[in-house]
Structure formats: structure tokens, C-alpha cells
Structure 1
Amino acid sequence: MPSREPACGCGRSGELSAPRLRRDSPERAGLDSGELRHLAQEVHDLTTGEHPWAAGVVVVAGRGPVIAVEEAAGWAVRYAAHDPETGRVVELPAESRVPMTVDTPFDLASLTKLFTAVAAVQQMERGTLGIDARVGAYLPEFRAAARHGITVRELLTHTSGLRPELPLYDCADDTERLAMLRAEAPLGVPGTYTYSDLNLLLLQYVLERITGRTLDVLIHDGITRPLGMLSTDFGPCPGAAATEDQRRPWAKVDRGMVRGVVHDENAWALGGIAGHAGMFSTGRDLAVFCRTLLAGGSYGPARILGADFVELLLTPPGLGFAVNQPWFMGELAGRGAAGHTGFTGTSLVLDPATDTFLVLLANTVHPRRQPADSSPRAAAATRLARSVIPSPSTT
């Protein structure tokens, strides 16, 4: 692996430092304490009952530089297995369970895409990557992408026409996986939205080609290290919340109970470092990430992006980020809120209009995946939206 080079953008001469996050009261943040008490209670309710939404949940929310809610509920590890014969979960004995804490790391799943997107926009800021450049200009050996003229913008906006995924986990080795990716042509109409992990995988290969460094190094040096996100990296992460008892037929590979290594089967087959999945982080670290973007790319003395390039990331339809999506943003949507969700139960939303952020992390796939239900994410975001106390200038 290439050596890590110094972090980018750490404090230009004459620049003021952006305020760091601090824990304080809702009132200090300009948020209604009653609404946030409801948010905290509803998070606990998500982990109770015979069929909880998730084994465990962490929520971190705030406004400006203030964290007003930081709450953990339930269990990081609750189950030993899923029994396919009875269709029931197998609970661990009480003494073997691991309680959820606000410091518990989670498998971020598709939230990894946001870090890949930021790494790409950093290269745009440096002038080494063109947003409308063709992928084939950087990766001529990716013959199908080159032949169809797929662009970097199309990868970041999921408009390349590539299918959602490929069964890379069934390939014999990396040579076969790479050959499959190189030969993959769009099935959909370019310019039409189709969410696809393959977009961010191709973008990973572009970034690694133009920089000569692997994606984990790029993200560490360019994002997590300058921001002091010490709990954020690609796995393995032994202390992470458990995910799935991963077995066929409900999963795509047979691995047993997964904890501390990436849940996504393709990212696992690729060695755990992938443009679409593979990273682990905590609620507090992701709050720093949100705060950095809300502050125009700076946090403390570090600057990871210029404000114009943050705007490029977050302007509809968003580059890597989803924008104005009520299905998980609730009432935060509709005014420029941006964010993403992850298959394992993770999500984040940042709202530039009110300078608020919400990180909701859960292990909803523990002990096995279920039909997606994002209503708790939307409800949490709605609570935060309703807690915002308008400033005198907006009333």
C-alpha cells in the first residue's frame, strides 16, 4: 500500500478556524428541548418489543457547532444467529450481549459513497479530475464504459445507466472481478437515474488511477485525518455493532454472523475497500463530517474543500449525496437537505437552510435483513425539523 501523504487543506495562512462541535443544551443550539426529548425517547422505542426496528440505535443531532442530542439505545450485539428452520432469532444470553454506546462504531454501508464523492470533488478542486470528463479518458481498459461515453458526473449522480450491482462475490478471483467490471455496459438509458453501486466502484478506479493512491489512503489523508475523525476508516473494526447472520438464501454468501468486517458482499469480495461500501464510523465522527460540510468545508483549523466545491456537492441533484428525499429526510426535505442512507441501517442528513444535522445509526440487519423501512429515519428528521427555533431574522 502506498504511504499516506500529509493531509490536505490544514489551515491556510490568514484563515479563521471554523468552530468545533461541542455538547450543549438544545436552547444553546436554538432547538426546542421538548421535541428533542421526544426524539431521544423514540430512538429508545425503536429497540424495544418483540420485533424491534433495530437491535441498537445511536442518534446524534444538533445545530451549528452544538450537539444537542447524543443518545444510544439497545444492543450492539444481541443475537447469536437467525434460525432458518423456525424463522426465529436466536438471542444471546444476557451476559454475552454487548450494550450499544454513543462510541460504538457501525458498518456505514453506502454512507461510504459520500466519502468517495468528497474525495472525487477534492480532485476536481485540484484540477486533476474533470466533472464532465469521460471515464474512458482515465480508464481506457474499461472498454464498455469508454465505448458508451460514461462521464464522471454520471457516476456521481447515478445517471450512467449501469445496473445496480454485479455478482462480484461469485467470481473466482480479483482478475475475474476486474474483467467483469471492465466489460459491463449500461443497461439503462444514460442520463436516467438508476441507483448503482457500480458507479462508485468505477469512480474508485478513476481516483486511484489519477492519484496513484488507494481509496482508503485518499480518504484518510484528505478527509478523516485532517478532521480528527479518528474512529472512521475502512475495516476491519472489531468493536463494531454486529450486522447479519449472513447465509443463503436471504444473503448472497455464507459467512455466519458478521461483526467488524464489511457486510456488503461485493465490498467483502473486493477485500473490504470499495467506493460504495466498507467504511466504519461513529455518530460523533459523522457529526464532524456533517458540520464540516455545513461550514463550507472547514472544521477547526482544517479545510478539506472550498465552499464553492461543497456547494457543488450539495446542489440538486447532488454529487454522491441525495438531496430533498422525504422518504428518509422527513420534514427536513424540500429546502436543500442532503444526505444518504446505508443498507445496514445507517443514515445522515444535513440541512444548510437551518444549519442542522442528524446522524441516525442502527444495526437493522442484525440478525438478518428485512424489508426496508425508513419511516423511523424520516420521523427522526421530522422531529429535528420541528425543533428548530426560528431566528429573529427569519420570522
Structure 2
Amino acid sequence: MPSLAGLRGRGGRSGQLSVPRLRVDAPERAGLDPEQMALLARGVRGLTAGERPWAAGTVVVAGRGPVIAVREAAGWAVRYAGYDPETDRGVELPPAERVPMTVDTPFDLASLTKLFTSVAAVQQIERGTLGMDARVGAYLPEFRGAAEHGVTVRHLLTHTSGLPAELPLYDCADNAERLALLRDRGPVAAPGERHLYSDVNMLLLQRLLERLTGRTLDVLFHTGITRPLGMDSTGFGPCPGAAATEDQRRPWAKADRGMLRGVVHDENAWALGGVAGHAGLFSTGSDLAVFCRALLAGGAYGPARILGSDFVELLLAAPGLGFAVDQPWFMGELAGHGAAGHTGFTGTSLVLDPATGTFLILLANTVHPRRRPPDSTPRRDAATRLARAVRPT
């Protein structure tokens, strides 16, 4: 990983050449094998077939460099009115009342939100206003659980803080009780000892960024990432036209909210008002392709630059800051040479591969009509198809 001393002050936002914007074109124009890309698209379409499909609906966007070689939708954004636990089946809507999936359908991104929180943090590191190895307690002294154990910004970004995976904020009586729980809960493992994936890391990072900048997280995302990149379909909810998620009820869920569409699925993000560092963002496949393209192009898209290229390298280099790196279980054969990405509980995933310049966004409402044990085999298979499509340049 590059040192911060060698990075600070480099890769600024002025005097840069414009990066070509994305365009839809034939796979061959991107150095991708058309047969493999056709198999990728066919495989994703098949995920919505049958009585118990992998997902009610899917959107896939894949390409290389400035070329989107596959951009397709299949199935339904809304297929079910609810879930019947007695038959263990979704209650089908009449065909006339279902909502078809389109390539422009927004999705609840779930944990893909963490990638944007990480970019927002690295932007502050680039500016010199945030220290990577500074202690959280230096910014949030009242957060005793993290402060007393020496948790650092790096620990939060790399999921090595030792903080628990989640906290039952959804069961708290009010925001004061939620804040107290976040403030007081300490690590369950020694910071730096091991990787322990945790939503709490990003919730603390959210509060740190908000304290540091005086801006809420939604404003930081808009001004620092989505507006410069022209990602007009990306933001926190409500998002009325989004793909439906879950008939959220106990005992399979943690709250009783009924069928959800256009409001955040994650119970903790919901309890926090819908804007959270770990979940809550909505976006489309096309917007996420822009996000991938900007990172693959060293932090720039068109005339805009959201990060210097060295700081993109810092973000994506193993072990990754917020991003998972080289994880075959969802990256397939793209893993192994520095591919980075993430998955989301609602069925979303994103992979970008700096070694080949390729990107893959697979969005699906796999929790519609209710959550079930996760299965990333389709993500892995789609990524492998993309890896096998790459031709030498």
C-alpha cells in the first residue's frame, strides 16, 4: 500500500485531461469476446425464471474501459404482494399489477453504501483533514467504546476494529438510546488483531465524517461523489420507483414493516432515518457503472475528478479500504490480480478489475418476497464469464 507521506498533495483535481465517458457498444470494441458476453447475459436472464427464482428481477451492466458491452434487465421489479409463511411462497400479484424490471430501475444497494462512505473518507485523507492512523477518539471522544481501545480510522476502513458486526439499534426506544449504544459498545476482539466485518465501523465513520466536515453524510455523497460524476439516480431514499425488497416481518426479520419498496430495507438504517454509513443508498446499474469507470480511470470521469489517482490506488490496494479485494466467492475468475468490490444483502454486487479495466454490476432483489440464506454462485459465475471474455490488448 502506498504511504500517505508520498501521496499527500498529488493527483489533484485540476489540470487533468477529460476521461472518456461510458458508451454502449459491441463487446469487440472493448476487447471482449462476444460469445462469452452473450453467455453472461443469458445466465443473468435465467436467474429470474421458475417458481422459486434466484431473484424476482435482475439488472446487469458489464464492460471494459469506456464501453458498456452488456446492459440488460430481466424479471420483475415488483412481483409479489407479500410472503405466506404457511406455504413458504410469495403471494403473486396479478400479472397486470406486477412492475417489470428495466435497466433504469433503482435498487436498494444495502452494503454497497459502504463503498461510498469509504470514498468520502479517503477524500478527507487526500485533503489532509483526516489521518488514516489517527484514533477515532481524537474526533469522537464521547464514543468511549472505540476511544478507550485505541480504534483508528484505518481499523474502521479495513474492518479490523474488532467492533461487533451489528448492534440492535432497531430495538432502541429512541435516537438517544441508539446513540448511547453506539457510543458505549467496545470491541469484541482486539483492534488490529483480525478481520471482522462490521456495519458498526461505517456507522462510526459516518459520525466522524459528519463531525469533521459539519455536513451530513447524504450531503457529502452528493457534493463529493454523485453530483460531480453526474450520478443523478443515486441517493438516499425514499425512492418510490425502486425494486421491491422484503415483506419484512418477524420472526425472519428484525422489524414488522410489511412489503418494502422505495424505503431502506436494512433495519438499523431504517431506525436511523434512512441515512447511514453502512446501508440506505439507492442507485441504478448505469450510475454504478459510472462509479466503477471513475475509479478504474484513476478517480476521474469526463471533466470531473473525485480522487487523485494515487488515492484510488490507496482505496483499492489490498486489503482494501471498504472494498473487498480478490474474493473468488463472488468475483469468480476476476479475483487474483487486485479486483475490488462488494456485495449487498438485498442482492446487489459490484466488481471492478484494474488489471483488465473491466467492471460488472449485478443488481437483483433476491430478498423479494423474503430473505433467505445468501447464494453468491450467480455473482461468481457472471464474473467468471467476464474474466474469460477479456482479450489481450
Tell me the TM-score normalised to structure 2 length.
0.96
Q: Distance in 1 between matches of 2:91 and 2:45?
A: 22
Q: Determine if the alignment matches structure 1 residue 193 to structure 2 residue 177.
A: no
Q: Tell me the residue number matched to 2:279.
A: 277
SS in 2 for 1:181: helix
Q: Determine if the alignment matches structure 1 residue 388 to structure 2 residue 361.
A: no
Residue identity opposite 1:308 in structure 2: D
Native 8 Å contact 2:13 2:306 kept in 1: no
Q: Distance in 1 between matches of 2:86 and 2:173?
A: 30
Q: Tell me the residue number matched to 2:308.
A: 306
Q: Tell me the residue number matched to 1:296.
A: 298
Q: Distance in 2 between matches of 1:245 and 1:274?
A: 22
In the TM superposition, what whole-angstrom CA distance separates every residue of 1:4-37 from its partner, at most 9, and x where no partner exists?
xxxxxxx955321011000100000100000011
Structure-to-structure mapping, 1:201-240, within 5 angstroms:
201-240=203-242
Q: Tell me the residue number matched to 2:21.
A: 20
Evaluate the alpha carbon distance shift between residue 367 and residue 138 of structure 1 in structure 2; reply closer, same or farther with a 3 A threshold. same
Count of residues in Structure 1 that have an aligned counterpart in Structure 2: 381
Q: Which of 310, 323, 326 is the matching residue for 1:324? A: 326
In the TM superposition, what whole-angstrom CA distance separates every residue of 1:222-254 from its partner, at most 9, and x where no partner exists?
000000000000000000000000000000000
For structure 1, the 5+ residue unaligned runs are 1-10
Q: Tell me the residue number matched to 1:144.
A: 145
Residue identity opposite 1:171 in structure 2: C
Tell me the TM-score normalised to structure 1 length.
0.96
Of 199-208 and 85-94, the range deviating more from structure 2: 85-94
Native 8 Å contact 2:242 2:262 kept in 1: yes
In the TM superposition, what whole-angstrom CA distance separates every residue of 1:281-338 from its partner, at most 9, and x where no partner exists?
0000000000000000000000000001000000000000000000000000011000
Residue identity opposite 2:54 in structure 1: W
Q: Tell me the residue number matched to 1:4.
A: none
Q: Distance in 1 between matches of 2:143 and 2:55?
A: 40
SS in 2 for 1:225: helix
Q: Distance in 2 between matches of 1:134 and 1:314?
A: 22
Q: Distance in 2 between matches of 1:352 and 1:13?
A: 23
In the TM superposition, what whole-angstrom CA distance separates every residue of 1:161-218 from its partner, at most 9, and x where no partner exists?
0110000000011000000000010012322100000000000000000000000000
Q: Distance in 2 between matches of 1:152 and 1:128?
A: 12
Structure-to-structure mapping, 1:1-395, within 5 angstroms:
12-191=13-192, 192-391=194-393
Residue identity opposite 2:147 in structure 1: A
Residue identity opposite 1:172 in structure 2: A
Native 8 Å contact 2:13 2:307 kept in 1: no
Residue identity opposite 1:281 in structure 2: S
SS in 2 for 1:244: strand
In the TM superposition, what whole-angstrom CA distance separates every residue of 1:247-271 from its partner, at most 9, and x where no partner exists?
0000000000000000000000000
Q: Distance in 1 between matches of 2:55 and 2:17?
A: 42
Q: Supply the RMSD in Å over aligned alpha carbons.
A: 0.8
Residue identity opposite 2:326 in structure 1: N
In the TM superposition, what whole-angstrom CA distance separates every residue of 1:356-376 from its partner, at most 9, and x where no partner exists?
000000000000001010000
Q: Distance in 2 between matches of 1:47 and 1:359?
A: 16
Q: Distance in 2 between matches of 1:136 and 1:111?
A: 26
SS in 1 for 2:244: coil
Of 316-325 and 11-20, the range deviating more from structure 2: 11-20
SS in 1 for 2:229: coil
For structure 2, the 5+ residue unaligned runs are 1-11
Residue identity opposite 1:241 in structure 2: A
Q: Distance in 2 between matches of 1:237 and 1:302?
A: 26
Native 8 Å contact 2:150 2:191 kept in 1: no
Q: Distance in 2 between matches of 1:277 and 1:330?
A: 25
